Amino acid sequence: MPLPDTMFCAQQIHIPPELPDLLKQFTKAAIRTQPADVLQWSAGYFSALSRGDPLPVKDRIEMPVATQKTDTGLTQGLLKVLHKQCGHKEFVELDDLEKKWKNLCLPVEKFRALLLLDPCTKRIEWMKFLALGCSTLGGSLITAMKHLCEILTKDPEGGPARIPFETFSYVYRYLANLDPSISSSEMESYLASLKGNVEARKNGMIGLSDFFVQKRKL
Amino acid sequence: MPGPHEERPARRRTRDPGAGGRAQRPEVPFPAGLPEKPTGRNLREGGTSGASPGCWATGEDASDRLRAAWSQPSGAPACGAGLPHPAPPPREPPLVPPLVPPRHPCPWHYLRLSGSLESLAPTCFKAKLHRKSGGSTPDMASAPAMAGRTPGELGGGTYTYTSRPRAVPCQRRRYREDPLQPSEESMHYGNIMYDRRVIRGNTYALPTGTLPGQPDLLDLQRQQMARRRALARKRAQERLRPRTPEPVEGRKHVDVQTELYLEELADRIIEVDMECQTDAFLDRPPTPLFIPAKTGRDVATQILEGELFDFDLEVKPMLEVLVGKTVEQALLEVMEEEELANLRASQHTYAEIRNVELAEVQRLEEQERRHREEKERRKQQQWDIVNKHNETAQKISARVFAQRYLADLLPSVFGSLRDSGYFYDPVERDIEVGFLPWLMYEVEKTMEYNMVGRTVLDMLIREVVEKRLDQYEQRSLVPGPGRPGHPEAVREPLVGFQLPSDPNLSQRAAYSRAPQPQDRRFLGLDE
């Protein structure tokens, strides 16, 4: 509302009623996401909001990795954000992805490095990208699968992160193919065993406990 | 002076008859300010000779009373209203000051007798003192008595006295007594406890004092003497006291006031009664609105645009609050949500672990159960085998024993059986069972036939013999017809002839049958 010509007191100043709520949501998102560059991220946030896209907001607060061992600042949370943003599509445009990547204040070089693992031109299958991201998160294939499970699962956090076995096997195969050290026969046998386990028990979902033994600190 | 004389009687007439005894002695020593003291004194003296300057009870002074007496006494006190006051012989003082009717009608005055009025008032004391004629003392003494007795005198009225409570006025003299005017001995205080006028003792039997008209001469004399003595004493004392020297020839002492402002000298403090009364029925008017007076100065000014309001400045606190609150709230909410999510996550993790453990436990349990069952089964099996084994052994042993035990059972059994005849030759048996009895029976029958035949024969013979005998007897008796025995005899032979007549009939039957019916008939016949 433009300022009327004669304004005499502070009570005349009118605050738009949606503003506080908007601000609050934004603040909460910022606090949760903890972007390195707030401005960049805010631009991304508001553009996504205006377009109606899923917001680049982490669901859980995750302190940014200060000492960046992997030098990406890529965390599971961020991958989750990306997944939230792009997961509904099967294929993502690289430019779009790059923009989103930047909005999360992640270094672009790493993006390129990721893409180098599996080169493609315009678009990339989202699953593959996610798989690549997961592999950079953890050192081994198994940890990558663990991250993947946790990202993709619909179960509540902390629960058995279950994903459909087909997805699992697909990603597993993909990553194993990329990794030259694992032979395909090993992979197949492993997958077969897992499959047997899974089908005996549940409805085709594979959970963390099936392949990942967490070292419990006793 | 003559004026008051005249006035007095006039006043007396105008007065209420009920108030006859009222201040007949009007005595104000100072009607309108004392001209000078000696004269005033004189006046007073004269006035008080027979006047009562003021009513002691009501506290009014003589002036008031005198003044009041002019007006019609209204609302005369009821005391003694019914009492017709006798008109006592008034004690007319020689000098009568200007009479002013008393303003406040005092009940005392009603009861007061003419001679005693002045004695009842405190100022009456003074009057009494100044009065030379005397007789005031007796008056004083007798006044109460008289006053008390008056009703009695009058015949049967109750003595009542009411008065408005009044403070005792100060009787302190301001100036000392004039040496030329010796004061009489008197009581200067107004304490009721020491008032000789107050009757003490029983009141139901009043002392019969002297009648008002007939004072006790003896008492009077004594009192006068005492008074004279006291006066003499006082005079002597007075003479000793230093006084101002007499004025020189041709001069006169004059009292002069040396202060800045002249002061009216008066022994008696002028008392003025003031009354005030609010109008009872008037409503309190509403308080007027308080409109404070306008203070200050009017100043005018003009405000240009932009002078009053600066947006940036004004908006700052708002922004602060907005942003601050937003951030704070957002932080709080995030922390809350975080905490909740953490809790939930840990819950789920815990649940997960628990599930896994539970599954493990279940598996182990299952395993355990299976093992146990297996064990149980095996054990059971084993047990069965052992049982069976035992049983078999037992059976075998039993059988062996039984066998041995019953080894020689068989021959003995057979032997006994044979002995009891269970093994028999059937032909032999048959012969024994079937043939031999028949044979015996037949033999018996035949023998019986023989016997029967013999018996029959015997009977026949006997019959015949008997008949023959009878016949012989009958023949012997009556050679008549022995026919009755004949048919029988005829019949007999018939019968007897019958016997061999049909031998073809089953001989045996005949043999068996015939003797029997014959026997029976014969026997019957015989009997």
pLDDT-derived band at B468, boundaries 50, 70, 90: confident
- Range with the largest mean pLDDT of A100-114, A119-133, B348-362, B380-394: B380-394
Q: Which residues of B touch A5 (CB under 8 A)?
A: 305
Q: How far is it, in rounded angstroms, from Cα A53 to Cα B310?
A: 40
Contact B85, B21 (CB under 8 A): yes
- Range with the largest mean pLDDT of A10-14, B71-75, B223-227, B269-273: B223-227
**Over residues B460-485, mean pLDDT:** 76
Kindly state the greatest CA–CA separation across chain A.
82
More confident residue, B503 or B290: B290
Residue type, position B394, single letter: Q
- Cβ-nearest to A31 among B330, B349, B351: B330
Minimum Cα–Cα distance from B334: chain A residue: A28
Q: What is the pLDDT of residue B40?
A: 41
Q: What is the pLDDT of residue B152?
A: 44
Contact B97, B43 (CB under 8 A): yes
**Over residues A64-83, mean pLDDT:** 67
For residue B452, what is the enclosing H or E element? Answer: helix B436-477
Q: State whether residue A155 sits within 8 Å of chain B by CB.
A: yes
> Which tokens belong to B198?
């107050």
Q: State whether residue A19 sits within 8 Å of chain B by CB.
A: yes
Contact between chains at B331 and A60 (C-beta distance less than 8 A): no
Q: Name the CA radius of gyration of chain A, rounded.
A: 21
Contact between chains at B309 and A155 (C-beta distance less than 8 A): no
Q: What is the pLDDT of residue B50?
A: 41
Q: State whether residue A209 sits within 8 Å of chain B by CB.
A: yes
Query: A163 pairs with which residues across the strands?
Result: A206
pLDDT-derived band at B226, boundaries 50, 70, 90: very high
Contact between chains at A15 and B318 (C-beta distance less than 8 A): yes
Contact between chains at B305 and A5 (C-beta distance less than 8 A): yes
Q: State whether residue A5 sits within 8 Å of chain B by CB.
A: yes
Preferred mutation among B316, B349, B358, B360 to probe A, highest tally of A CBs within 10 A: B349
ipTM score of the complex?
Answer: 0.75
Q: pLDDT exceeding 70 applies to what percent of chain B?
A: 53
Q: Which residues of A touch B322 (CB under 8 A)?
A: 15, 19-20, 23
Q: What is the pLDDT of residue B354?
A: 87
Is the confidence at residue A38, as pLDDT, over 80?
yes
Q: How far is it, in rounded angstroms, from Cα B475 to Cα B24?
A: 217
Contact between chains at B338 and A60 (C-beta distance less than 8 A): yes
3-state secondary structure string, chain A?
CCCCCCCCCHHHCCCCCHHHHHHHHHHHHHHHHCCCCHHHHHHHHHHHHHHCCCCCCCCCCCCCCCCCCCCCCCCHHHHHHHHHHHCCCCEEEHHHHHHHHHHCCCCHHHHHHHHHHCCCCCEEEHHHHHHHHHHHHCCCHHHHHHHHHHHHCCCCCCCCCCEEHHHHHHHHHHHHHHCCCCCHHHHHHHHHHHHHHHHHHCCCEECHHHHCCCCCCC
- Helix/strand/coil for B26: strand
Predicted confidence (pLDDT) per residue in B321-349, tens digit: 888 888 888 888 888 888 888 888 888 88
Q: How far is it, in rounded angstroms, from Cα B302 to Cα B140?
A: 95
Predicted confidence (pLDDT) per residue in A119-150, tens digit: 777 777 788 888 888 887 777 777 877 788 77
First to last CA, chain B: 212
Count of A–B CB contacts within 8 Å? 76
Query: Which DSSP letter does residue B293 get?
Result: P
What are residue A124's phi and psi, to 5 degrees? Answer: -135, 150
Contact A100, A130 (CB under 8 A): no
Q: State whether residue A201 sits within 8 Å of chain B by CB.
A: no
Is the confidence at residue A199, as pLDDT, over 80?
no
Q: State whether residue A38 sits within 8 Å of chain B by CB.
A: no
Q: How far is it, in rounded angstroms, from Cα A202 to Cα A194?
A: 12
Contact A32, B334 (CB under 8 A): yes
Q: How far is it, in rounded angstroms, from Cα B219 to Cα B492?
A: 211
Q: What is the pLDDT of residue B10?
A: 43
3-state secondary structure string, B89-144?
CCCCCCCCCCCCCCCCCCHHHHHCCHHHHHHHCHHHHHHHHHCCCCCHHHHHHHHH
Q: Which residues of A touch B348 (CB under 8 A)?
A: 155-159
Q: Which residues of B touch A34 (CB under 8 A)?
A: none
